Amino acid sequence: MNLDNMSIAEIWTLIDTTLNGNPEPIQGMNTTYSLNLSGDDGGSFGLIFKDGKAETLSGEIADADCALTMSVKDFKKLLAGKLNSTGAFMMGKLKVKGNIGLALKLESLLKQYQF
C-alpha cells in the first residue's frame, strides 16, 4: 500500500479500519488528538481514543488533549513510520499544542500498525 498515492480522506478511513481492526494497542487510551494538516488535500481532523476504540473525525476538536500541526507529506511519513516526531518538532516541521508526551505516544502507537 502506498500512502503517497492515497487521498487524506482515504487515509483517515484506513486509520479508522486499521486501529479498530486490531484494538489491542489502544486499550486503556482515553485521549483526543486534533491534527491540522497543511498542503494539498490538507485540513483539520480529529482522532479520539475511548473505551478501546478509535474514532476519526473530519474537522477540528477544539479542546483536544494534544493538537498537532504538520504538512500532509510529513503526516504520511509519520504513518509509514518514517518520521521521527522529536526530530520533526526540533526542525519546526511538527508543532504541538498541549501535552507533548501524547504526541510521542501517538508516534509509538502508530508504529505498532502497518500503514
pLDDT (0 to 100) of residue 23: 95
Average pLDDT of the segment spanning 76-91: 93
Q: What pTM value is reported for the model?
A: 0.93
The count of structural domains within the chain is 1
CATH of the domain at 50: 3.30.1050.10
Residue with cell 485540513: 43
In a domain, 84, yes or no: yes
Name the residue type at position 75. F
pLDDT (0 to 100) of residue 112: 92
**For residue 1, pLDDT beyond 70:** no
List strand residue ranges (DSSP E) for the chain, in order. 31-38, 43-50, 53-58, 66-71, 95-98
In a domain, 106, yes or no: yes
Kind and range of the H or E run holding 100: helix 100-110
In a domain, 115, yes or no: no
In a domain, 93, yes or no: yes
**pLDDT tens digits, one per residue of 16-65:** 999 999 999 999 999 999 999 999 999 999 999 999 999 999 998 999 99
In a domain, 15, yes or no: yes
Nine-digit cell at 95?
Answer: 508543532
In a domain, 21, yes or no: yes
Owning domain of residue 55: 3-110
28 CB contacts (<8 Å, ≥6 apart)? 52
CA distance 91 to 50: 32
